[in-house]
Amino acid sequence: MRLFHTLLYPLLGLLCLSCSDDEQETGSNPALNSGAITFGVDLTGFTTRITQDGTSWTNGDKIGTYVLNAETSELVSEAVNTPYVCTEAGQSVAFTSETPLTVQDDGTPVKFVAYYPYNADIQDFNYPVAIADQSNGSTACDLLYGTTAEPYVYDKESDTDIALKFTHRLSKVVLKFMDMEKSPLTVSDVKIQGMPVSASFNVQTGVLTTDEAAVADIAPYVNTATDYREAIILPTALSNAYKVSFVLDGRTREWVFADLDISLPKFNPGSQYTFGIYIDPTADIIVGRLEDVDAGNSSAPWDDGSKEEGTADGYKPAGYNLFPANEATDAFADTELKISFEGVAPELGKSGYIRIYRKSDHKMVDEINMGERREPFPTDDKDTRPRYLNTWMDAVGATPTGSSANCRVVNYYAARVEGKDFIIKPHQQRLDFDTEYYVVIDRDAVIQEDFAGIYGRAWSFKTKAAPTFAGGEYNVKISHTDVNADFYTLQGAIDFCATHVDLDARKVFQMDNGIYQEIIYLRDQSNITIKGNSGDNMAVSIQYDNDNSYNGGTGKGTSFDQFAPIGTPVTSGGRSVMTICGKSEHIRFENVTIENTNCRYRGFGEALYIDNESAAFVNCRLIGYQDTLLPGGGYNWFYQCYIEGATDFIWGSGKVVLFEDCELHAPTGTRAVMQARVTEGNLGYVFDRCRFTVGAGYQSTLIYQYEPDNLTFLKCTFADIYAQSFVEKNKPLVPNQPTVTKGCKMYGCTNESGAEFYNLIPEAVRATVLELTDEQFEQYFGSREKIMSWDSNTDASWFQE
């Protein structure tokens, strides 16, 4: 049964002429032309108002009415609080008055206001609201208020059928008492306690003023059709003092409104809230659930700013779609949640909560506080202030079998807006497989004119069963669009394999086309190949806006409880988009883009940080601004890759970092393409048949000197500009007497114009660069396997196209 409905008042003009029979016969009527004629306005023709104890208006229902100046809201008539009475019962009835309102034909714009139920003692427009005793019905407390939408000016040609739209100015609660099996329970002496029960409503301004000190018990009405308790209450913020007292089996029990399974910050005017109070008398357990919020079927805008409109026909849902769809049974356990609006684009709210509950026991499994935002970790060594976990931080990663450092704690976007989509990213590991959940979103959490919040069970879904794999190789499908895929995210697949699959088994992850907004942590797992689109290495993009200012340092993960409470001290998990580290080997990426989108803001943070035994990247794109790539650890191979950045965008080094047939591009120039920082004794960077390019018209430098400069260039092509800016400020490289195993070496390189590059380098720098002989090249660098066999590496044959 709907609570709020359109109330229409056609205003029927009754011409009140004081004239003689002679005047009528002669047709003389000077008053009609003078504008001094008055006419009565008869308020008639309500449509449905459904009361809590019936389905229609009843004979004798009475309203109070006023006519006011539309510009000043002052009275334009001596008639105040004019009563109109319903003379019949039904859903569409007439109200009449023995002293109907009148307006003058003087061009004054007016508006009509009315309220229900009528009170003869109203003084100075102030209507007293008293809601304590509703045991005989709440209709007498159900304050309705209506006014004309547009100013009305009467003349003899006017249409006198005018509609007033009414709204409910108070709130309503419905209480259902049931056992844990949802069977009704018989309770008695029900009272709503701790709430204010008195207020004053100004009919002239439409403002309700609550007397917070006037607190008393409210005796709700028993709806005999449902056996539910129903009561009108004052719109107010929820308080721990608000509770329901009742007697069951001869014992008085209490339930506090704030002890809900979801967040309910306040009772809004014009909204009806249905609560299920579930009781296990044997175990003395009382669980309260908000089962429905009916806030959409008033005939006019709500007082709290929403533009939602409805009619007597009921609620029309706001213009948006949900993902996963309500009651979906095929949601991913690592899914994002999405509200796609049809109207104006949403914005992030600055208050309210987003919460996810497990349906079986109504346990809250995740929470996002929209009053929070990303909280930067310190980047200054002098800043020793601790940082504490909030809901805009996430613990990325799952603890692999036998591992200790299980996750990266990072600031992340718990919610974001993309176009007309409001996207929610639940925290890692919060949703399980084959489990039902429901989502509750406070109205204030999303700023959008059509959004009135999502409460009760209005958005529920079930996750898919865990994937099963047969055989010695695990083939995993990752997709945002294919419901038959195994996972929604790359991190979801990594985490599942960390705990469900032999860490040394071969695993192949096939990613569908799409943008994957993720921070990735892959630790202590081996033999994983991640594949994108073989025909387009831009079609699969793993990207995030990470930055040293929010997640300072490189970070390698930490031992941290993913379910640690809010307020737990935390340390930064690092600024990279993807971190591969620990006791892992044979990690391979093919045909994907990995991008740190902080380049849009000229921040610095790695797209990729490697610190494991062996990793390969084939036909991939690595994009950032400063510090795009940190290839540390053991042996790293980049084959036919595109790497882009602006400052030191390759830095740090493992034992061997081989770039083969790659392009290293500085679109806006750079202080230095590379800052090697090679550990003493490592071969460092080897560039084989690579192209070093620069955006047209930009200055750029190739090397930022950082000893030892173990850099090897084999048959590479350099932008012409790099000849005179091979090293920043033309500093000599270290060691200044290089050999085939240490320092800077070069073989068969040219510039873009085809000239031999070695002789173009300034002499002071060239003296610290070894030009390899043909014999030295063949012996040490003549093949990929020779290069990757450095330091007696026995795994060089793994690096295959």
pLDDT tens-digit series, residues 709-727 = 999 999 999 999 999 999 9
* CA–CA dist 573, 402 (Å, integer): 21
Q: Taking the CB of residue 133, how many other CB atoms lie within 10 A of it? A: 16
What distance in Å separates the CA atoms of residue 65 and residue 83, rounded to the nearest whole number?
Answer: 6
Is pLDDT at 583 greater than 50 in this prediction? yes
Query: What are the residues whose beta carbons fall under 8 Å from the beta carbon of 316, sequence distance 6 or more?
Result: 296, 310
The answer to whether 267 and 280 are in contact (CB under 8 A) is no
Q: Tens digits of per-residue pLDDT, 223-246? A: 888 889 999 999 998 888 999 999
Q: Is 785 helix (H, G, I), strand (E, B) or coil?
A: helix
What's the gap between Cα 248 and its chain centre?
Answer: 42
Q: How far apart are CA 62 and CA 75, in angstroms?
A: 21
Q: Beta strand 642-644 with 621-623: parallel, antiparallel or unpaired?
A: parallel
Tokens of 730: 């033309």
Give the least confident one: 70-84, 195-209, 258-272, 470-484: 258-272
pLDDT at residue 53 is higher than 70: no
User: Tokens 């059709």 correspond to what residue?
Assistant: 225
Look at residue 473 in the predicted model and tell me its pLDDT. 80
Cα separation, 667 vs 631, in Å, equals 21
730 close to 705: Cβ distance less than 8 angstroms: no
Encode pLDDT of 436-451 as tens digits. Answer: 999 989 889 999 988 9
Fold entry, domain 11-294: Immunoglobulin-like (2.60.40)
Q: Which two tokens stand for residue 144?
A: 């309705």
Fill in the DSSP letter of residue 378.
P
| Model pLDDT, residue 690 | 98
Place of tokens 């007497």: 737
Q: What is the pLDDT of residue 261?
A: 61
Identify the weakest region by mean pLDDT among 23-32, 451-460, 638-647: 23-32
d(CA 218, CA 197): 8
Which residue, among 218, 282, 217, has the nearest Cα to 249 in the 3D structure?
A: 282
Check residues 550 and 508 and name the one with the higher pLDDT: 508
Q: Rounded mean pLDDT of 454-467?
A: 90
Six token digits for residue 751: 């510039």
- Give per-residue pLDDT as tens, 715-759: 999 999 999 999 999 999 999 999 999 999 999 999 999 999 999
- Span 193-198, average pLDDT: 96
Residue pair 278/180 in contact by the 8 Å Cβ criterion: yes
Which distant-in-sequence residues (6+ apart) come within 8 Å of 342 by Cβ?
319, 320, 321, 420, 450
For the segment 688-701, the average pLDDT, to the nearest whole number, is 96
What is the Cα–Cα distance from 20 to 535, expressed in whole angstroms? 96
What are the structure tokens assigned to 8, written together?
Answer: 């229409």
Question: 152, 110 in Cβ contact below 8 A?
Answer: yes
